[in-house]
Amino acid sequence: MASMFIAVPPPRIPAAPSDLGQPAGHRQGGRSADVEIIVSSNGSDGSPFAPAPPSSPADAPCPMTSTPGPVPQPRHAPATLRNRDAIRSVLEQVLAECALLLEIASGTGEHAAYMAPRLPGIRAWQPTDASTEALADIDAHVQAAAATTVRPALALDAAGSAWPVGRADAVLCCNMIHIAPWEAALGLFAGAGRVLPADGPLILYGPFRRHGVHTAPSNAAFDEGLRARDPRWGVRCLDREVLPAAMAASLRLDTIHAMPANNLIVVLRKASRE
Ligand SMILES: C[S@@+](CC[C@H](N)C(=O)[O-])C[C@H]1O[C@@H](n2cnc3c(N)ncnc32)[C@H](O)[C@@H]1O
């Protein structure tokens, strides 16, 4: 699967001036991040990234559906169907070989259930979530998908200091740091710093502001909705909030991958000892 290096993908909607609008094929370093944004081609299965519908500018804050009926069904997060191949494609590049992936805030578990069987280089996938209700959903989706490399879900509050997993080769966290108090992000960085080996990656997926500015009007509207729902939530600024906090926890920025629907994957790595 080829990757091309350009500043940003063709915007779906008018974009903020900070990062978008560069012609395809152009390669440009990031701003203060001093790292280029990588735009991957479509997933290796050839399916195009499905754009988010206009009503869902970014992945909405855990909109989950459950099917009513006599037998309770695990909840379903529709956004996972839209973003899973794009995320998988980046994981394929970043995690060619990985003995244990620790996923934080797995939600319904649909990312684990779908991606783990398609990423054989990840030999074990440990899903977790702070919500005990989510744990049953995760296990049900994993069982239905017969995703044999996925372990039973564990309760893990990213904000806490007692994580039930002491070592992991990689940590993945999709769509949590904007839908949780900032303490969850700080706990995530501290925890990743504890469990990862030197150069081990912490992979973040979600919407971010850049240099204090939203990258799309849809993300600004999404942010407003998040903050109205809980003032402690909100789309974080990669340059002014996330990276300084991550660096304070001995993580360094590796790569930034532009994703569909104005999201990013940010790969941080545990700094090597001096
Ligand atoms: C928007 S959902 C994302 C789920 C999934 N990663 C995805 O992308 O579909 C946010 C998840 O973060 C979890 N969460 C919120 N605060 C958390 C914390 N402090 N530690 C761990 N998980 C947390 C919620 O329970 C929820 O499952």
> Which DSSP symbol is given to 212?
T
Q: Is 131 in the pocket of ligand 1 (CB under 6 A)?
A: yes
Instruction: Return the pLDDT at 64.
Output: 75
Partners of 268 in beta bridges = 202, 253
Specify the DSSP element, H or E, that contains 246: helix 243-248
In this model, does residue 36 exceed pLDDT 70? no
3-state secondary structure of 141: helix
Pocket test for ligand 1, best of 66, 103, 129, 186 (most atoms within 8 A of CB): 129
Closest-lying ligand 1 atom to the alpha carbon of residue 77:
9
C-beta 204 within 6 A of ligand 1 = no
Spacing of C-alpha 45 from chain mean position: 20
What backbone torsions phi and psi does residue 123 show, to the nearest 5 degrees?
Answer: -80, -25
157 lines ligand 1 (CB under 6 A): yes
**pLDDT-above-70 percentage for the chain:** 75
Which domains are assigned to the chain? 79-270 (3.40.50.150)
Between CA 162 and CA 109 the distance in angstroms is 22
What was the pLDDT predicted at 195?
Answer: 98
Nearest to 264 by CA among 170, 175, 169, 188: 175
User: For the ranges 13-27, 133-147, 232-246, 256-270, which has the lowest average pLDDT?
Assistant: 13-27
> 175 C-alpha vs ligand 1 centroid, how far in Å?
7
Among protein residues, the one whose CA lies closest to atom 14 of ligand 1: 105
Distance CA 173, CA 238 (A): 15
Partner residues linked to 126 by β-bridges: 102
- What does the alpha-carbon distance between residue 38 and residue 31 come to, in Å, rounded to a whole number? 14
